[in-house]
Amino acid sequence: MTTLSPTKARSNLSALLKRAANGEDIGILHGDHVIALRPVTVYSDDYALREYAVTEKELDRFVKRMNRKIAQERKKGTIKKYSGNLEADLAD
């Protein structure tokens, strides 16, 4: 493992991140600990659960409620789907 001080790591951070992303073990000293740089997989589906401290059941109820509300608003013509052409959508 390559171990660096925070000062050295800061000066070469982009290169160190690339090396860590390619599988090299990189560590940064923090007091008497070595903090490892390594890639992690982030799952967007658990973001709301962690960020807002909600349960799966609460999140499912929220999603269903919002989908119903969006469908109602579309039916009323208050909102519409984005077509991919911003100018055309704004002109309507």
Burial label for 29, CB within 10 Å (0-12, 13-18, 19+), is middle
pLDDT, tens digit, 9 for 90 and up, residues 13-32: 999 999 999 999 999 999 99
**Percentage with pLDDT > 90 across the chain:** 55
Q: Residue 47 in 3-state DSSP? A: helix
**pLDDT of 54 over the 90 cut:** no
Q: Cα(13)–Cα(10) distance, rounded to whole angstroms?
A: 5
**DSSP state, residue 84:** S
Report the residue count for the chain: 92
Nearest in space to 79 (alpha carbons), one of 88, 71, 87: 71
